[in-house]
Structure 1
Amino acid sequence: MRSRFYQGIGKAAQELADLYVYDTDLENRAAFKELLWDAVMHSLVEHHGFKPEDL
């Protein structure tokens, strides 16, 4: 169950990143994807009760 949860989160973050970085160069694309992933992790901790060590 937990594995599917993380897989779903990763897939959603990847799709969101791909949507917004389609027209950018590779360096900016990588930076944006990293920023997006950090935002997803922060949201899970702040709003959904996860602990950083759980992620």
Structure 2
Amino acid sequence: MLGPLLTEDNQLLLYLQHGHNVTTSAQILHVHRNTVLYRIGQAEWVLEPATQKHR
């Protein structure tokens, strides 16, 4: 289930390491900031069921 997220070259980790800064992450990854936002949304969509189980 997380396979596609893990193959994104740790892009989500880079985003987290840079203080959740979308613009900085996009610049480092050489992608548009909307691409970063899209990928974050995809990660949230995949991870949401797991996080709601622990509430």
TM-score exceeds 0.5: no
TM range (shorter): 0.3 to 0.5
User: What is the TM-score when the length of structure 1 is the normalising length?
Assistant: 0.39
For normalisation by structure 2, the TM-score amounts to 0.39
Structure with larger RCO (C-alpha < 8 A, sep 6+): 2
Larger CA Rg, structure 1 vs 2:
1
